[in-house]
Amino acid sequence: MDSFISSVITLALVMDGFGNIPLFIAALKKVSPERRKVVLFRELAIALVIMVAFLFLGKWFLKAFGIQEYSLSIAGGIILFIISIKLVFGGEEETKNDPKEDEPFVVPLAIPLVAGPAALSMVMITAAQQSNKFITLGAVVVASLINSVILMSSFPISNLLGKRGLTAIERLTGMILVLMSVDMVMGGISKFMSL
């Protein structure tokens, strides 16, 4: 039971629900308010499915494609870097598109923000430490529920902060993400160099 609780806590921390709030607010700001919860639920469900799939098929997938674990970290870092640059410099074009075209789909919310390299690696590490994969499955589901509750609260926070507050948080988050993305890339390079 202790290992289950520690797995839940570790996975919830790695998913970084509180840290992702500004990113989710920024990514969903062009989505109509009535669609936001639907999109958020969809993205969180996709992230959960990816993590569960990775739990059972992750090592096979990496081996089948000849992908090393450090590559996850480097690729995730590059994706986060691109996202963070857009946040810092606010690449906004005010074109009137179909509202559904403004909805994020899979990237960047489900991957790499929730089911990112750190979360997927942690799922694999936790599964390796447990004799029963279904204990890890339970931990992934509970941690995802905790993360979902945290991220559902991002909408009241966005209403509280207003447009200027959101812009400030978006720029600040972009700067933090630049640092995180570089750290992820360097972590992957460090793992590669230590082989």
Output the pLDDT for position 95.
Answer: 42
pLDDT band at 166 (very low <50, low <70, confident <90, very high): low
The two tokens of residue 43 are 């993205």
* 13-56 pLDDT, tens digit each: 778 787 788 788 878 878 888 888 899 999 999 999 999 998 88
Output the pLDDT for position 101.
Answer: 58
CA atoms within 13 A on the CB side of 20: 28
* 112-154 pLDDT, tens digit each: 788 887 788 778 777 767 778 888 899 999 999 999 998 988 8
**What's the pTM value of the predicted model, to 2 decimals?**
0.69
* 63-121 pLDDT, tens digit each: 888 888 788 778 777 877 877 787 778 655 444 445 555 677 888 888 878 888 778 87
Output the pLDDT for position 52.
Answer: 93
Contacts with 172 (C-beta within 8 Å, 6 or more apart), sequence order = 22
CA pair distance 4, 132, nearest whole angstrom: 11
Q: Could you tell me the CA-to-CA distances from 103 to 64, 109, 116, 123, 192 in Å, in that order?
A: 32, 10, 19, 28, 36
Backbone angles phi, psi at 115, to 5 degrees: -95, 65
**Domain map of the chain by residue range?**
2-193
Output the pLDDT for position 102.
Answer: 64
Output the pLDDT for position 91.
Answer: 57
107 strand-pairing partners: 105
Please identify which residue in the block is written with the tokens 């400030």.
168
Output the pLDDT for position 185.
Answer: 86
